[in-house]
Amino acid sequence: MSSSSTVREDDSLLSRSDRLFFKAESFLNLIGGAVIFAVVLLAVANILGRKLFDLPVDGYIDWTEQSMAFFAFMGIAYCQRQGGHIRMDIFVGKLRGRMLWSFELISTFIMFVMTLLLTYGSYVHFLRAWTNGDSSFDIELPTWPAKLIVPVALSLLSLRLALQLWAYTRAIIENNDNPVGVPLIEDVATQAAKEAATVSGASVDTEAGLTGENK
């Protein structure tokens, strides 16, 4: 399942690295959001142009297809940092302490290896498009920019996963119940309070809202 999470911070090198990566992740996520907004405007222009003036946007399908890679991958590392990816934690959610962080370490390592393989494969795919000059069918829009963003986003995700491996390893060694640099699951009350604060603009103290396994 996906759940709302909080990430603890301190003055350690790990936490400073986490915040530095988060700035880059937030920037890419912002670009992804801007692309979604641009696609919405493009769709509106296409519909109104076709309906009112019988003049649709030239290459609308091509532009939409190319933009999908941007808003599908630009926020992937940001979502990982926030603990927003869907996961099945029926078993892991019942673990505590070193046992919990050991399982998180194993699963994160598997994700790390798979992401490295996907990064390599997507880069090869981009390189092929760049070398062959691949383009879309309608307006011959070059496809390499959309294909390039995939290995770039996956590379940042690999760095995020590497940092989380560091954090989980440190948590196991120190037997830390509330490690920094990794998403800690919040209880239902805190999640509801944060959602309410998003609407009202108020701040929420998440330190007391961690679930039992993270206290």
Mean pLDDT, 10 residues at a time, the chain of 215 residues: 68 91 93 93 93 88 90 91 79 80 92 96 94 87 92 95 94 88 73 68 55 45
Please report whether residue 130 resides in a domain. Answer: yes
Please report whether residue 212 resides in a domain. Answer: no
Sign of CA dihedral 170, 172, 178, 181: positive
Please report whether residue 201 resides in a domain. Answer: no
Which residues form the domain of 96?
5-188
Per-residue pLDDT, 30: 94
Please report whether residue 59 resides in a domain. Answer: yes
Please report whether residue 137 resides in a domain. Answer: yes
Distance CA 144, CA 52 (A): 34
Distance of CA 95 to CAs 29, 143, 146, Å? 32, 46, 41
Per-residue pLDDT, 85: 78
Helix (H) or strand (E) holding 190: helix 188-200
The number of domains in the chain is 1
Please report whether residue 125 resides in a domain. Answer: yes
Contact 42, 64 (CB under 8 A): yes
Please report whether residue 205 resides in a domain. Answer: no
Please report whether residue 37 resides in a domain. Answer: yes
Of 98, 74, 87, 90, nearest to 25 (Cα)?
74
Residue type at 211 in one-letter notation: T
In sequence order, which ranges of 3-143 are alpha helices (DSSP H)?
13-53, 60-73, 76-82, 97-132
Per-residue pLDDT, 26: 93
Per-residue pLDDT, 83: 84
Question: Which pair of structure tokens corresponds to residue 146?
Answer: 């959309």
Of 169, 198, 167, nearest to 183 (Cα)?
167
